[in-house]
Amino acid sequence: MSSAYVSSDEIRDQFSSAMSAMYQQEVPQYGTLLSLVEAVNREVLAANPELNGALQESDELARINVERHGAIRVGSADELAMLRRMFAVMGMEPVGYYDLAAAGVPVHSTAFRPVADRALKRNPFRVFTSLLRLELIEKAELREQASAILSSRDIFTANVKTLIERFEQQGGLSAADAEQFVQEALETFRWHDNATVDLATYDRLHNEHRLIADVVCFRGPHINHLTPRTLDIDEVQRRMPSVGIDPKATIEGPPRRDCPILLRQTSFKALEETIAFADAAEGKHTARFGEIEQRGIALTKKGRELYDRLLATARESAPKGADNDAHQAHLAEVFTAFPDDYATLRREALAFFHYHAVKGVPVQGPVSIEQVDSLIQQGALSVTPMIYEDFLPVSAAGIFQSNLGESSHDNYGSSASQQQFEQALGATVIDEIELYTQRQQASLEQALVQLAN
């Protein structure tokens, strides 16, 4: 990229900050949540100097304070395809395919995020992006009406489309263009308290599924949550009521562990917001909420299979009506079958790691991939956990459902269609397991070259 252009990493950083500021204005409890997470993170680091040192050494500490993920839902293939082009300006690519229909939410999704190590360390901003599956609306008349409503709107400003085209033609944006791009792109995600339909239409769509009404009935796909990253989600969950935030009943994902894996998430209940309908009627709408996440190590295919198997066992045997403490205790018991030390996770190829050459340590014997265990024992090679950068479909559905009410479908059948999603997207989604595999291999090869020289 020409030095005359601002880097995509810088544009993503600016956009993430602007989005956070906007959402804090729109949802004041999000600001309260940020303060709570910051306080808990500070206490965890003060109480655990070893963790503090490890995060600093791996260059992970700086990113935690700026780290956010957002979530949006769009209604048409054209909207999804233009979002892909918009996120490309910010160096964000579609990673992973998620089918939420099987869990009762009529969407399928991907996560737009940076993929290179350097970009992730700068700002790992992610947007979990869902496409409404109109074909899952059972009533043909309602399905056609929803499609007609969506086809009559444009969720992008004319200026942002011009700037996206300029970026694609030039290979970058000037500082002035980048600043304007951030402001114009924000408009797609801004909350609008006036619906584009009358109350009767909204009610019909709402009765089919609350999420369908949320996607179809507004001028844009308003960001429905922003998520800071905490180092202790159990403590955040415990403290939320003390700062006036009502948390969801249980934390989603794996249990608390010495070596955190994948992703744990919780949220506060969706706001009830007043909206004006096209026929001048007033009503209430609940869609936007706050979420918190705690990220652990990325798992290999073998590790994910074990995780999925244990999670299924835990769900099948879960005590009914359990509160979060009982739920976590049950999960922890089931997950004793999942190794909880990094050495075993690496040796059994259950998780991904970064490899690093250790300066000043004399190497005994050959330097090769076959000698990795020996080099680690010698202290010449060190490993650090590779953070999971993606999402869990069961957890995402659980968060959505907790904020959409209990009247949603149990499921829409097994109807995953990655091919249909990619056709709408206009691109192939990146396989996240392959991405982690490549990053681990690249770090190992680089470390071995450094040791050999």
Q: Which domains does the chain have, with CATH numbers?
A: 8-296+389-430 (3.10.180.80)
Note the pLDDT of residue 407: 46
pLDDT above 80 for 220: yes
Note the pLDDT of residue 57: 79
Structure tokens belonging to residue 52: 């503090």
pLDDT single digits (tens) 261-294: 999 998 877 667 788 888 888 888 776 677 899 9
Note the pLDDT of residue 414: 53
Note the pLDDT of residue 406: 46
Q: What is the mean pLDDT of the chain?
A: 89
> 443 pLDDT band (50/70/90 cuts)?
very high
Note the pLDDT of residue 383: 94
* CA distance linking residue 328 with residue 255, whole number of Å: 6
For residue 272, the cross-strand partners are 286
Mean pLDDT of 20-26: 89
pLDDT above 80 for 394: no
Mean pLDDT of 61-82: 90
pTM of the model: 0.90
Could you give the percent of the chain with pLDDT greater than 70?
A: 93
Name the more confident of 240 and 224.
Answer: 240
> 59 pLDDT band (50/70/90 cuts)?
confident
Note the pLDDT of residue 58: 74
* Maximum mean pLDDT: which of 31-45, 80-94, 97-111: 80-94
Q: Do β-strands 93-99 and 225-228 pair in parallel, antiparallel, or remain unpaired?
A: unpaired
Q: Do β-strands 126-132 and 107-113 pair in parallel, antiparallel, or remain unpaired?
A: antiparallel
Lowest-confidence region among 234-243, 268-277, 361-370, 415-424? 268-277
Name the more confident of 51 and 289.
Answer: 51
pLDDT above 80 for 38: yes
SS3 318: coil
Lowest-confidence region among 89-98, 132-141, 392-401? 392-401
Note the pLDDT of residue 344: 97
What is the residue-wise DSSP string for 169-224? HHSSB-HHHHHHHHHHHHHHH---SB-SS-HHHHHHHHHH-HHHHHHHSSSS----
pLDDT single digits (tens) 309-320: 999 899 888 877
Closest CA to 148 of 208, 100, 201, 84: 201
pLDDT single digits (tens) 132-180: 998 888 888 888 999 999 999 999 999 999 999 999 999 999 999 999 9
Which helix (H) or strand (E) covers residue 110, if one does? strand 107-113
